[in-house]
Structure 1
Amino acid sequence: MIFIENEGHTNPRLNLALEEYILRNLNPTNDYLLFYINEPSIIIGRNQNTLEEINQRYVEDNNIHVVRRISGGGAVYHDFGNLNFSFITNHDGKSLNNFKKFTAPVIKVLQSLGLNAELKGRNDIQVEEKKISGTAQFSTGKRMVSHGTLLLDTNLGEVAKALNVKMGKIESKGHKSVRSRVANISEYLDQPLKIEAFRQLVLEGLYEEREPFERYELTAVEWQSVKQLKEDKYDTWDWNYGRSPKFNIQRSKRFSIGELDLRIFVEKGHIQDLKIFGDFFGKEPLESLETLLVGTRYDKDAISSRLKATAIEDYFGDLPKNEFIDLVYGDNEVNAEL
């Protein structure tokens, strides 16, 4: 395992560009660990509709960065009280969506600090039913990134203000508010701990789990490539806010794998455009599935026939194909002019 120094950068666009650069460009025979701390920001999941996840006015008024990441899952709030960790490893065909494998060493470190931490639900680390960490993954096919947050002393009041939390998600958790189910690690520590000291403790704890880490500092040429990726992708409106579709049908439902929100534009009885949003995790890009259904007659049998050879689980995880088809074209009435 090689620890990458991010040189103290706190711009979330640069840090996400650094993470992707490591994933796609550094020696694929090595495993890497990256830590970073971001300025106040909302990090949007790859498949989410940005404008419906954030409180746009509040974000603008408070100069909060809004950046889309390459992994799935839900939107999260970052600030200087939150430590982000990222493992970049080979994809062995069994590790994607295996959050237990990558959170286990982090949980052991938290337990050594006196926290009764454990993995709960799909991808959350919790203490006493309170979420202190969320994790997500992304795979290129051969390589993968498993990353997460560690809420040491983040401003939890900002979470509810900056995020536009859907009622369906709140109700599915059985809680009245996001704040009620999120906590800071500092609440469970006997002594106050600065984020830099916490970072060092986590790093030393992870050292104990594996052979001593090597440290690597990017060259000036590599940093220039990272900054170019930031400029070309993570600084752009198209990446962070794009994909807002024209639609006349909206169908959404929360499944065990997460929420699916479909925006379908149907004209003359055929699907002319389709965009799929949500906080689910999948390994294949949604664009290929969306494109596959364009031109299909908006009819259940026609949709089923078009998807006959498609492995739906590649896009959404453990979701039965018939349930996806029912969502695209179910029995419920929709408000649409076809």
Structure 2
Amino acid sequence: MRTALGPRLRSQTCLRLRLPSPRSPLFPHQCVTAQQESLPNAPSLRAHCCYSTNTSAVQKWPLRDLRDISRKTPLIFHLTSDNPYYNLSIEHYILVNSDPASQILLFYTNRPCVVIGRNQNPWLETDLGRLKAGRRISKTDNVNKDSLDGPLDLVRRRSGGGTVFHDDGNLNYSVTVPNTAKSFTRSLHAEMVVRALSPLAARLGFTDLKVNDRNDIVMRSKESSPQTSASPTWLKVSGSAYKLTKGRALHHGTLLFSSPNLSKISSLLRGPGHDYIQAKGVESVRSKVGNLAWTDNLDQRAQTKQVITEAICTEFWDMYGLDSDQTRIPRQVGYNEIYLDGTEADERQNPDIAAGVAELSTREWTFDQTPKFDFTSPVVDGVQIMFHADRGGLLHRISLHRTNGDADVIVRALDKDELKRRLTEHPGPSHGNGNSDATLGHVSQFVQEAGRIRTVTNWKGLLNALFVDPAVDNVDIYIPEALIQRIEEIFPYISVGSEMK
């Protein structure tokens, strides 16, 4: 549902039908007659409306009209769903389908989730086991408390950049503008946010803000004020990522204003395999983080979010709220602001957004977009496993090593062809290698998925199937249980996209 609030207007104040002017708000509360709706140029008549503060009287307009509508004025979108798959898909739809010359600001807040960049490795960037266990926020007596309640979402976005954690204390903003040197630089809209927030420092209790050389927004730590520290500590409150197309530029950023999970972010955004995976994609840069205005009171948190959102809206409008002769149009709260809920992802309403949600929700998108990488396990009882994975986490070669001091002996090494042979002719339970029918079933699934690491549900069974050759081995090759447990901790089996709410 698209609504645009006009709180300064009295209910059912009707305007005379008139031609739209550049100074006329396109999206106050609207009532467009069926006759007008059927006209070929209906989007250009959206200013012919009846203002109302009653949301039930608000006209719905198809989001597929966005290209025509966004041609006339800057727009501000507020997404009311907390579903990261919905929100990222709508954001992408706006990027692709808005007018090439338009300027659009978008806000959304996701439920607790980890979002990785387009070219990142999920096994490196996050603790998948902790995501699988889950951590949610329960609301009791209007105060946030930690609780375990099902798995957290792991989402791969379509833009580059690093890995971030989202929850209800993080506001996501994005700005979509023409991809020209005049309209877009990587620091432009981070600077916009700093200008918007700096006047709120005393009110919200944070200190100096600036944009650093990585285009992150950082806040001076309260413990390192100019009076007490010659070399201040700066805490990251906002990271940025970008998606550039031929004609459009998307800059989206996080904004930690009051996250109840601040102390957990660092451990969530570091996989247990961090020291053992050499990735070919983009690796996140770790930074100390902080909250702009921490409170554990949910009402106060909502008020803080509202104040911050309005400040950014005002600054955005100061930049782009100009009519055709470059005369500034005064900002009026609620005008040209559109509220979208999760129904936008309904296939009957917008199949493109529905398809985007479906894609982001799959394990194929989340894991199979991973660039190639190498894994070297820790040495446990003198035994070490090494493997190379091609793009998509496809096991390409693997080797088992024994170490004795400085000596390294390759016990068995399998290339791609040998891997395929061993997995299709793996030994059965009668060979005494400890494999059960259930274990071999898991190996068969791995084979059917062309050797994708994400499908491994039993690493012990897989390693036995790979390294124990009954034709030449009278006994099992020794692989320590502790080593298998470490590998399973780094590469757990995890379902993705199961929490479509």
| TM-score, with length taken from structure 2 | 0.44
Query: What root-mean-square deviation, in Å, do the aligned CA atoms of Structure 1 and Structure 2 show?
Result: 3.4
What is the Cα deviation at residue 236 of structure 1?
1.2
Alignment of 1:102-113 (within 5 A): 102-113=189-200
Distance (whole Å) between structure 1 residues aligned to residue 275 and residue 290 of structure 2: 20
What is the Cα deviation at residue 46 of structure 1?
0.6
Pick closer, same or farther for the CA change 1:167–1:205 going to 2, 3 Å.
farther
Alignment of 1:78-117 (within 5 A): 78-93=166-181, 98-114=185-201, 115-117=207-209
What is the Cα deviation at residue 95 of structure 1?
6.2
Pick closer, same or farther for the CA change 1:4–1:187 going to 2, 3 Å.
closer
Counterpart amino acid of 2:243? F
Alignment-derived partner of residue 52 in structure 2: none
Distance (whole Å) between structure 2 residues aligned to residue 187 and residue 216 of structure 1: 28
Alignment-derived partner of residue 289 in structure 1: none
Distance (whole Å) between structure 2 residues aligned to residue 102 and residue 70 of structure 1: 19
Counterpart amino acid of 1:9? S
SS at match of 1:201: helix
Distance (whole Å) between structure 2 residues aligned to residue 222 and residue 197 of structure 1: 35
Q: Does 1:225 align with 2:351?
A: yes
Distance (whole Å) between structure 2 residues aligned to residue 100 and residue 247 of structure 1: 31
Unpaired runs of at least 5, structure 2: 1-73, 135-150, 202-206, 221-233, 277-284, 322-330, 377-387, 391-395, 398-415, 417-501
Alignment-derived partner of residue 237 in structure 1: 363
SS at match of 1:202: helix
Alignment-derived partner of residue 3 in structure 1: 76
Which deviations, in whole Å up to 9, do the C-alpha atoms of 1:276-334 show, x marking residues without a partner? xxxxxxxxxxxxxxxxxxxxxxxxxxxxxxxxxxxxxxxxxxxxxxxxxxxxxxxxxxx
Distance (whole Å) between structure 2 residues aligned to residue 226 and residue 103 of structure 1: 29
Counterpart amino acid of 2:98? L
Q: Could you say which structure has the greater relative contact order, defined with CA pairs below 8 angstroms and 6 or more residues apart?
A: 1
Pick closer, same or farther for the CA change 1:245–1:132 going to 2, 3 Å.
closer
Counterpart amino acid of 1:144? A
Counterpart amino acid of 1:77? F
SS at match of 1:60: helix
Counterpart amino acid of 2:77? I
What is the Cα deviation at residue 244 of structure 1?
4.6
Pick closer, same or farther for the CA change 1:182–1:222 going to 2, 3 Å.
farther
What is the Cα deviation at residue 227 of structure 1?
4.1
Alignment-derived partner of residue 141 in structure 1: 246
Alignment of 1:135-284 (within 5 A): 135-154=240-259, 155-164=261-270, 166=274, 181-186=288-293, 193-211=303-321, 212=331, 214-216=336-338, 224-225=350-351, 227-244=353-370
Decide which structure has greater strand share: 1
SS at match of 2:81: coil
1:73 to 148, 153, 161: 161
SS at match of 1:51: helix
SS at match of 2:350: helix
Alignment-derived partner of residue 308 in structure 1: none
What is the Cα deviation at residue 64 of structure 1?
1.2
Distance (whole Å) between structure 2 residues aligned to residue 248 and residue 74 of structure 1: 20
Regions of 4+ moved over 4 Å? 93-96, 165-168, 217-223, 244-250, 262-266
Counterpart amino acid of 2:363? W
Alignment-derived partner of residue 33 in structure 1: 105
Alignment-derived partner of residue 212 in structure 2: 120
SS at match of 2:217: strand
Q: Does 1:51 align with 2:123?
A: yes
Choose 1 or 2 for highest CA Rg: 2
Counterpart amino acid of 2:269? L
Aligned length: 245
Counterpart amino acid of 1:37? T
Decide which structure has greater helix share: 1
Unpaired runs of at least 5, structure 1: 169-176, 251-261, 267-271, 273-338
Indicate if the aligned counterparts of 1:86 and 1:145 stay in contact, CA closer than 8 A.
yes
| TM-score, with length taken from structure 1 | 0.63
